[in-house]
Structures are given as structure tokens and as C-alpha cells.
Amino acid sequence: MNPNTLLPFVSLVSLFVYFLVADTFTSSLGKYLWGILGIILVSSDLFFRLIQSSSGQTDNQKNTRFLVSGLGILSYLFYQLRVYLDFPPTAGVAEQASSLPKLRDFLLILIIISALAFLLFTILLEISRQSVEAQHNLKEKKNTLLQNTIYSFLWISPLLVAVNYFAVQKNYNFDMSSLGKFSFSPTSRQILKEVKKDIQITAFFPRPLESDDRTKEESFALGFVRPEVEIILDQLKAASPYISVKFINADVEKELMADYAQVSNGVILVRSLKAVPDSGNPYMEERVIVLTKKDLEDIERKLVQAVINVSTKQKKVYFTSANGERYGVGFQSLPDEQITKLTSFLAFYNYNVNELGFTQGWPEKIPDDADVLFIIGPTVAFSKTAQNTILSYIERKGKLFITVDPTGQEDFSWLLEKAGLTLKKENLRQVEGRPEIIAGKFLPHPIEELFVKKETGILFLANAYFESKPAANTILTSNPLLESGFSSYADVNKNGKLDKDEKQNSFLLSTILTQKEDPANPSTTENPTRIILYSGTSWITNRYVLYNLNSILAVNSVNWLNQSPLTEKILPKKEEREVITISDSQKTIIWSVGLFLYPSLVTILLSGYAILRKRRK
């Protein structure tokens, strides 16, 4: 094929392919090599024209060809400049006060204009060239050329429609931010591909011009965040065909709020229909709160985690009942100490609840189909057989939810010692005369990420806590989850008061145990051992489970036990702000340059220019 015909389209296609593929490279080397290849291909037509011109070959469209090729290269350079200018703003300077966002928006306009001009002029020049050639041919060949042109457009039109349709459906776009904050990571997309259940996402945000008198400032702030939320949710919808998204202004569109209880603007509601509907809410729900741009940093992980929680296939969980646990007949006469409300919550989230007692083969075995084993407040110590059965279940990547009853005989020392922990039984207090405390110190973990109003805390009857205990040959690693907070103290003499010899401290109430990994041979399993231990049981009984965040903590703990470890690899996209400090001498230099040197230089240059012009005249 003639290079005069081929190379313009090589440059054209290369430019748009570069735009599409540039974001797929994660390594600096890959981006660098792709950039070099891109500029070579985009400039190929210009290089060919220069070679032709130097060899004496003439072309009636030479100057126009140079101009059109330059448009493609200019569009490429504008793109590179825009990427280069996308870096975190300077600390202490608001992003809106900087000229960089406006400059980047202006560069985006230039990229679009130059790229479209490159596309249109390349096509028009080719049509013009063919028309000129056709003028020297017979009339029959002219008619053939016209027919071929019409046929070509008839073929191209449906192709363009198809490309546009799939582009809209798949939401292809350019995420030109340095952190990729407007696109989902490959890990998130891999997880979302496994979703096979219809998910409805409703985002409650006002449009920028919608607000009422009571919440004018809040609505304005939420309206300012909404465009970025829309982009992120569009990415989520594009990642899975089972996800649908809509927006509602909870303050204005009151007629649409009948199906949404206790929801306000700033909430993203993720829900799916239950497998077995009940008389209450037919949906499984998770909520993600976004009130400021700061909340957008880890919204990707929160959304993926919420989608997983409401779309998980039915899991089978077992509750032990042979050692005086809360599940079983031992507490039938004490309805407040039972956990029937907890099991109802689990059924709400599509868990199949089963009993594990003597008739089910306990303590000799744990069923192979057990996704989670619950041991809720045993009052009778486990036998050696039961202990070995539980340890064997842990070795085969089991999931356990354990709560200790401080008044019972089972303290789980045989398990805690394998993680270098011990259970210390002491009455913890915060307020005189109150046996309960509000445990509100959550350690960073996916379990607590979806909490709304964390300051509400957990209403906890704390009569025990965990302590570190030096031990050799530990096989489990302990990661703190919940502490009492520094306003609590151990009431050693049990008088209900904070005495002089009793100091306030933050006590460990919940911990997560996982198997230790060999640094030389790290585990790559997607089904690791997970154990959650709580130093008390009353917080999930019928008496307390509906208070504060108790029920949410219980359900989130169970959901996390079944989650893929891949969700923890989704890192927050935080905009790091570099702090720049200058010394006093540097400040003096800057002040001197701005006040004296720069004005003097401008005055000298202008004076010299005026004198030079006067002499020439």
C-alpha cells in the first residue's frame, strides 16, 4: 500500500490507541516504553513527509500535511503535559486557589480539539487526494470511486454506532488523575466479576443547585461532592452487569423516599433482595457514608466490601450447644440472655443457622460444610477432645466467632496461649454505678470501616479483657480490633468507684487471630484461618444487641470471616500533601527578589527596549 495513504492513518490510529491503553500500564518502565512507542507512531507520517521533502519529492498538499501531522503530535504533547501537572497540591494551599486545576481543564480542551481536528483533517485530506486522482481517470472509474465511497460510509456508520454503544455500556474513559482515583483497581474488578446477583445502589445526594433552607451549607457541600461520586459509581456499574445505580435527593424528592427508611443525603445504600423474603425488609443492605472529599479516599474498598456483603451466597454457620452456650436449651428460662435476635440478624443476611451438639457428632467432629463456627459464651469447660477438634478445624482454614463468658469455667487459655495472650478477669468500669461501658476505640480494620457514627461505640458488659503474655512457639498472630478506650478502669476492689490505686487505661476487648506465615514462604491461599475473640458475651444477647453498634459489629464480624482476602489489598487513594519548609534566610531572599530584584529587572529591560527603539528611529 502507498505510504502516502497508509501513514496518515497509522498516526491517527496510534494517537487514539495510545489514549486508550496508557492507563493500563502500572509500572513506570511500562509507561515510559509505551510513551516512546506512541510518539514514534504518532510522528511517523511527519517523518515520512520530511524525508520526502529532503529528497526533492513534491506534494501539492505538503504544507497542509505538515500542519495536520503537527496537530496529532501537539495533542500527544498536551496529554503528556496534563499528566505531568497532575500532582498533589502544596500543603497549606487550597486546591481551588491554585491555577493548576484550571490549567489542566484548559489542556483537556486543547487535547480534545487538536485530536478531533487531527481526525477530521486526516479523513478530509484523504478524500481530497482521491478526488484529485479521480479527475485524471475515466468517468466510469469516477462513478466506481463514488460508489465505493458511499459503500464505505454505509459500512462505517453501523460500526461507529456499535463502537459508541459499547463505549457507553462499558463506560470507557480516561482517568488522568495521578492516583487513578476515578477508576477501580484490577483487584476490585476481579472481585466484582464474581458477583452474580442483582445489586441496587442508590446514592442520596443533592444536585449542585438543589438545597433547602435548613441544610443549605450541608447540601451545598454534598452537591459539590456529587459529581465525583457519580463518576465512581459509573465505574462500579461498568465493572459488573448486575449492578444498577440511581441518584435521589432525599431533601427534595420526597415522593421517592417511601422505600427507604431512615436515609438522608450523604448515604450510598447498597442492597439486594433476600433469597428467602420475610415479613420485614425484603432487602439485605449496607450503607456507605460520603460527606466530604476526604471520604472518597477509601470509597472504592468500602463499596466493594458492601457489594460483597449483600451478594454473598448463602453460608452455613453452626452454633455449639453442649457446653452451656447461649445457643441451646440452657438459657430458655432467661430470654434476655439468649441470642435469638442475633440469629435473626444472621438469617437476614442470608446465613443458614444450625446447631452443633451431641446429635450432630460434636465434639468428635465439625461438619465439613461449616463456613463459620460460633462458640458463644460456654459456661462449661471444653474437654480435651473438643479442644483438639477445634484446633484441627483451625488447621484446615476454619472460621471461628468466639465470645468468652467471664463467669463460666471456659477461659480458652488453650487457644490464647498459641497467640501469646491470656484472659484476665476484672470488672471494667467507666461511670460509677454502671456495670456497662461504652467501648469506642476501634482499631483500623475492614470490620469497622462501614460503621456509621463510630463514636456511638459498643455497649459492653466488660468483666474481662485480654493481655499479652510472652510465650514461645506461638502459631497464631493477634491483631487488636476493639478496646475499651482510656476512660475505663479496672475496679479491682469492686466498689464501683475509681480509687487512687486504680488507673484509667484502654483494655483489649476483642482480637483477631490468624495463622503465622513463614516469611520465606508466604501463604497465597484465598481461604486463610480467621478467628475473632471477644472477652464478653452479654453484648450480643437479646438484652444488649440492639443498643449502639452492637448488632452491626456482630454482623460485620461474620461477614468479614467469609470475605475474600483480596478486599484488604484495595488500598485507599490518599492524596499525599508534601510539606515544604523554608528557612529564614530563604524567606529573606524571596522577599528581596520580589520587592527589589524583579521590579528592577523589569524596569531595566523596558528602559533598554525604549532607548533601543528611539535610537533606531
Asked if 267 and 385 sit in the same domain, the reply is no
Burial of 229 (0-12, 13-18, 19+ CB in 10 A): buried
What predicted TM-score, i.e. pTM, was given to this entire model? 0.59
Residue 16 lies in a domain: yes
pLDDT of res. 142: 55
Q: What is the mean pLDDT of residues 99-121?
A: 79
Total domain count, the chain: 4
pLDDT of res. 15: 84
Q: Which residues does residue 110 pair with via DSSP β-bridges, in sequence order?
A: none
pLDDT of res. 96: 44
Residue 431 lies in a domain: yes
Which of the four pLDDT bands, split at 50, 70 and 90, describes residue 587? Answer: confident
**Contacts made by residues 170-179, CB under 8 angstroms, sequence distance 24+:** 170/238, 171/234, 171/235, 171/237, 171/238, 172/20, 174/19, 174/22, 174/23, 175/23, 176/82, 176/83, 176/86, 176/104, 176/108, 177/86, 178/83, 178/86, 178/87, 178/88, 179/573, 179/574, 179/575
Q: What is the mean pLDDT of residues 198-206?
A: 92
Structural domain ending residue among the three candidates 263, 290, 310: 310
Residue 216 lies in a domain: yes
Residue 392 lies in a domain: yes
Residue 181 lies in a domain: no
Residue 334 lies in a domain: yes
* pLDDT above 60: residue 380: yes
Residue 176 lies in a domain: no
Asked if 336 and 463 sit in the same domain, the reply is yes
Specify whether the CB–CB gap between 26 and 177 falls below 8 A. Answer: no
Considering only residues 605 and 142, tell me which one the structure prediction assigns the higher pLDDT.
605
> How many CA atoms within 13 Å lie on the side-chain side of 99?
1
Query: What is the rounded average pLDDT for all residues in the chain?
Result: 80
Q: What is the DSSP letter of 496?
A: S
* pLDDT above 60: residue 108: yes
Which of the four pLDDT bands, split at 50, 70 and 90, describes residue 95? Answer: very low
Interval 522-540: pLDDT, tens: 554 567 889 999 999 999 9
Q: What are phi and psi of 349, to 5 degrees?
A: -95, 25
d(CA 73, CA 43): 6
Structural domain ending residue among the three candidates 287, 310, 333: 310
Interval 35-69: pLDDT, tens: 888 888 888 888 887 887 776 655 556 677 788 88
* pLDDT above 50: residue 566: yes
Domain that holds residue 588: 582-617
CATH number at residue 261: 3.40.30.10
User: All 3 cell numbers of residue 505?
Assistant: 487505661
Which of the four pLDDT bands, split at 50, 70 and 90, describes residue 511? Answer: very high
Specify whether the CB–CB gap between 504 and 498 falls below 8 A. Answer: yes
Asked if 292 and 334 sit in the same domain, the reply is no
Q: What is the mean pLDDT of residues 97-119?
A: 76
Asked if 159 and 32 sit in the same domain, the reply is yes
CATH number at residue 389: 3.40.50.880
Q: What is the mean pLDDT of residues 207-228?
A: 71
d(CA 294, CA 175): 19
Asked if 155 and 140 sit in the same domain, the reply is yes
pLDDT of res. 315: 85
Asked if 62 and 9 sit in the same domain, the reply is yes
Structural domain ending residue among the three candidates 310, 329, 354: 310
Helix (H, G, I), strand (E, B) or coil at 168: helix
Q: What is the largest CA-CA distance in the chain?
A: 113
Which of the four pLDDT bands, split at 50, 70 and 90, describes residue 574? Answer: low
Asked if 375 and 434 sit in the same domain, the reply is yes
Asked if 232 and 159 sit in the same domain, the reply is no
% the chain with pLDDT above 70: 79
pLDDT of res. 159: 57
Asked if 150 and 291 sit in the same domain, the reply is no
Interval 255-274: pLDDT, tens: 888 888 888 888 999 998 87
pLDDT of res. 270: 92
d(CA 416, CA 604): 80
Which of the four pLDDT bands, split at 50, 70 and 90, describes residue 170? Answer: low
Residue 551 lies in a domain: yes
End-to-end CA gap in the chain: 60
Task: Tell the residue number behind the cell numbers 514462604, with chain if given.
Answer: 521
pLDDT of res. 377: 93
Asked if 335 and 458 sit in the same domain, the reply is yes
Asked if 245 and 378 sit in the same domain, the reply is no
Q: What is the mean pLDDT of residues 401-430?
A: 93
Q: What are phi and psi of 208, to 5 degrees?
A: -55, -30
Asked if 494 and 611 sit in the same domain, the reply is no
Out of 117-126, 157-166, 343-352, 598-607, least confident range: 157-166
